[in-house]
Chain A
Amino acid sequence: MHTFEFVRADNVASATNTASQARTAQQGADIRFVAGGTTLIDLMKLEVETPARLIDINRLPLDKVEDLPGGGLKIGATVRNSDLAHHEKVLQNYPVLSQAILSGASAQLRNMATTAGNLLQRTRCMYFRDTAMPCNKRVPGSGCPAITGSNRMLAILGTSDHCIATNPSDMCVAMAALEATIHIQGTKGARSVPIAGFHLLPGATPHRETILEPGDLITHVTLPPPPSGSKQTYLKLRDRASYEFALASAAIVITIANGKITFARVAMGGVGTKPWRSHEAESVLLHQTTDDATFRKAAEAALRGAKPQSENKFKIELAKRCVAHALKTAANA
């Protein structure tokens, strides 16, 4: 691990001011915020991340889950994943979020990992994690050996000729289906962005993963009130029954009236270069009856643009079945 200066932020303003001296808030950042550390410390040990300065944000007052007037929820940046998953209001109104979080990592890691940290979780692509290998995400322009190499776990949606790395988060998939908003404090003020616009597609710049700029600190995430009577579920398919990243996952939020679907949100994990919301599947579902044929049609629509690599063609059918099964589970919930 490279040496670094360790500083503790006493307030949000000092944290953002210090971080604003960084060259970038993306891969290669020389200044990093640290909270749970479950991604960052791991990558610092591998020397994939080599910050010269670490800003500990654990003492900032960003660790609360609060009700919003009108029924939504405000989730602080440093709320631990385990606390969020077991929060009474999350269990009651956003079960898909609780299920998604509890399907990821281990109990120990969920006790450490935070809301904002999970939003910024890095890919598990083995080429990204190995500094002996080229990687366009880690070293822009160095190439992507995954495209012709070991890519079984990698993405089939949102890929480019430069990067096919999967976004590994489960939490983000549920938040995409719940249409969460990310709230950011920068040195020039506060702003908010829908989660759909927070993560970037790799394109020709896979080292840029989010819209964050130097000095930007995620302060909290808000969830809108869930649609009245909504049924939700998260289904995760993986190589092991527990403690493994998704090969394919689906987060579903739907409402049904008189046997017809009146509201549908579908997001997928394990298959996209970012948490993958499928408007295509949602359009297919709206106003249709809740039967297997409808669910399969929606699943077909969700994977229509999928581009498989040499080792992960199976993910297309797996993801379709995942979406269809999750829709059926949610409808019957």
Chain B
Amino acid sequence: MSDDPETISPRPSRRSFLVTTGTTAAATVVGAMLPAHANRSNEQSGSSSAVLEEPKVEGAVQIVLRINGRDRNLRIDPRTSLLDCVRESVVLTGTKKGCDHGQCGACTVHVNGRRVTSCLSLAVMHEGDEITTIEGLGTPEALHPMQAAFLACDGYQCGYCTSGQIMSAVALLKEPCGPDDAAVKELMSGNICRCGAYANIVAAIQQVRKGS
């Protein structure tokens, strides 16, 4: 492995580089995760990932998860959280892992249209559910109004919490919520932003709610 990915030709994308090296390491170490290589999507990078021998994990189960309107056949360890499944098995890495204990909201996705913290849910519990991640919300060409509002209002700095914030904000639109900023803040309290972009996040949500 070269220390300088710039020298590799053809130059890999940052994502495909990380995925390839990361899964090679995972295949050697074999942790709790069982990446379902055959099902890896390439929705983000468009490049193909390396074909690796599937690690054997005792007790792995075959499930079908419907994510962003598409059925995914997956073989996973029952311990796999919905978060790890989405990120590692399906390789939809827009959903972020923050605390992994339901305290920060970075991993927020929608299950049947409702926001949940995907780190505190097991993937095996979601067969038959309609799961939506940030990748299923909009595309760079056709942003969801909330994504556009976050851009317009500068609702982030580092961006790590942003997909969770946006997923929460979109779900909030359908929940009982008073008109004022205080009501929005209360309903967004499950999404922590350590950069402190809260004021702009609230502004983005209010912009969408007011339809402006």
Contacts and interface: CB of A to CB of B under 8 A. Distances in A.
B81 interface: yes
Contacts of B23: none
A107 B115 contact: yes
B114 A6 contact: no
A108 B101 CA distance: 12
Interface string A20-44: 0000000000000010111001100
A106 B185 CA distance: 11
Given A105-B190, A111-B114, A6 B185 contact: no
B100 interface: yes
Contacts of B79: 1, 3-4
B120 A1 contact: no
A112 interface: yes
B208 interface: no
Contacts of B105: 106, 108
B26 interface: no
The size class of the interface chain A forms with chain B is 20 to 34
B120 A37 contact: yes
Contacts of B27: none
B102 A42 contact: yes
A86 interface: yes
Contact of B168 (A37, A42, A107): A107
Interface string B81-121: 10000000000000000001110010010000011110011
A318 interface: no
A227 B115 CA distance: 35
A243 B186 CA distance: 8
B38 interface: no
Interface string B142-181: 0000000000000000000000000010011001100000
A264 to B, nearest CB: 29
A45 interface: yes
Contact of B172 (A54, A56, A107): A107
Nearest to B115: A108
Interface string A34-75: 101110011001000000001010100000000000000000
A5 B102 contact: no
Contacts of A45: 100-101
Nearest to B59: A3
A242 interface: yes
Contacts of B188: 107
Contacts of B102: 38, 42, 108-109
A109 B59 CA distance: 28
Given A105-B190, A108-B168, A37 B59 contact: no
B124 interface: yes
Contacts of A5: 59, 78
B21 interface: no
B125 A37 contact: yes
A107 B125 contact: no
Interface string A91-108: 000000000000001111
Contacts of A82: 114, 175
Nearest to B114: A111
Nearest to B58: A3
Contacts of B122: 6, 34, 37, 41, 54
A56 B125 CA distance: 7
16 contacts: A3-B78, A34-B122, A36-B120, A38-B102, A38-B117, A45-B100, A54-B122, A106-B189, A106-B191, A107-B188, A107-B190, A108-B108, A108-B190, A111-B114, A111-B116, A242-B186
Given A37-B120, A41-B121, A105-B190, 18 more contacts: A3-B59, A4-B79, A34-B125, A36-B120, A38-B117, A42-B120, A45-B100, A45-B101, A54-B122, A58-B125, A107-B188, A108-B116, A109-B117, A109-B190, A112-B117, A112-B121, A241-B189, A242-B186
Name the 4 nearest CB pairs between A and B, nearest first: A106-B190, A242-B189, A243-B189, A6-B78
